[in-house]
């Protein structure tokens, strides 16, 4: 017996439609559209290694050396892929002090955490809804079975919907949605901790460069010269 033949008794299109479709509709109705997009786009993150701040720390150290040697204004031409580091360096170039840089990086980190957790909550919501949709499918199957009591050939199909709907709801919640939500939360916690490491080095650049930045003439005057 092949795997497909062994799996065939556990496949029922009606039960799949009730549980899968119902879970999807209920999740969409209780979630903002932007969070739905984040929940789907976050799936590739599960295949990557946990976020590490070491490459960012190396780049920040290199930017600090460039600023010390050539002046903070040269950082404005640097190519920085990470959005949080980029906005912090832009603030440093504009003359922000260490406290302001700390606040900027902290706010960016918090916003990133909120986006990650919102994506995880979508999958947690699906895990919450799926068993309920399984129960709905079970009730529909039982009603259909009682209506078909005079037709023994239809009782089996109705009973399959009733039983498999509960199975599908449990599988979607326990093997798909909840594990995804748990892993996304874990990834978010790791990234939040790692990104905390970049705040102090960025603030250190601002603290070191601010006195020299104040001694320079305004950018408009330098451009005119």
Could you give the CA distance from residue 22 to residue 3 in angstroms, rounded to a whole number?
Answer: 28
Residue 10 has pLDDT above 80, yes or no: no
User: For residue 223, is it within any domain?
Assistant: no
Of 89, 69, 95, nearest to 215 (Cα)? 95
* Helix ranges, 20-97 (H): 22-29, 33-41, 54-70, 83-93
Please give the tally of structural domains in the chain.
1
Could you give the CA distance from residue 106 to residue 112 in angstroms, rounded to a whole number?
Answer: 10
Q: Model's pTM, two decimal places? A: 0.80
Task: Report phi then psi at 53, rounded to 5.
Answer: -90, 0
User: For residue 6, is it within any domain?
Assistant: no
pLDDT, tens digit (0-9, with 9 covering 90-100), for 106-121: 999 999 999 999 999 9
pLDDT, tens digit (0-9, with 9 covering 90-100), for 140-196: 989 988 887 887 777 888 888 889 999 999 999 999 999 999 999 999 999 999 999
How many CB atoms lie under 10 A from the CB of residue 1?
6
User: For residue 21, is it within any domain?
Assistant: yes
- The secondary structure of residue 53, as a DSSP letter, is S
CA angle 115, 120, 124 (to 5 degrees): 145
Q: Which residue range(s) make up the domain with 190?
A: 12-213
State residue 224's pLDDT score: 45
User: For residue 2, is it within any domain?
Assistant: no
User: For residue 68, is it within any domain?
Assistant: yes
Query: Binning pLDDT at 50, 70 and 90, where does residue 214 land?
Result: low
Mean pLDDT of 99-107: 93
């Amino acid at each position: 017996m092949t795997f497909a033949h062994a799996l065939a008794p556990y496949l029922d299109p009606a039960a799949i439609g009730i549980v899968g479709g119902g879970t999807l509709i209920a999740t969409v109705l209780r979630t903002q559209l932007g969070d739905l997009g984040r929940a789907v786009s976050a799936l590739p993150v599960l295949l990557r290694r946990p976020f590490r701040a070491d490459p960012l720390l190396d780049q920040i150290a290199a930017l600090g050396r460039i600023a010390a040697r050539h002046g903070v204004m040269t950082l404005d031409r640097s190519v920085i892929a990470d959005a949080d580091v980029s906005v912090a360096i832009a603030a440093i170039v504009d003359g922000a002090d260490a406290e302001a840089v700390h606040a900027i990086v902290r706010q960016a980190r918090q916003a990133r955490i909120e986006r990650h957790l919102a994506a995880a909550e979508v999958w947690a919501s699906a895990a919450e809804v799926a068993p309920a949709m399984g129960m709905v499918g079970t009730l529909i199957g039982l009603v259909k079975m009682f209506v078909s009591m005079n037709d023994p050939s239809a009782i089996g199909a109705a009973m399959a919907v009733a039983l498999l709907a509960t199975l599908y709801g449990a599988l979607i919640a326990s093997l798909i949605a909840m594990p995804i939500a748990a892993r996304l939360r874990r990834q978010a916690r790791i990234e939040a901790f790692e990104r905390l490491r970049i705040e102090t080095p960025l603030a250190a650049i601002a603290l070191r460069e601010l006195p020299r930045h104040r001694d320079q003439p305004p950018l408009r005057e330098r451009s005119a010269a």
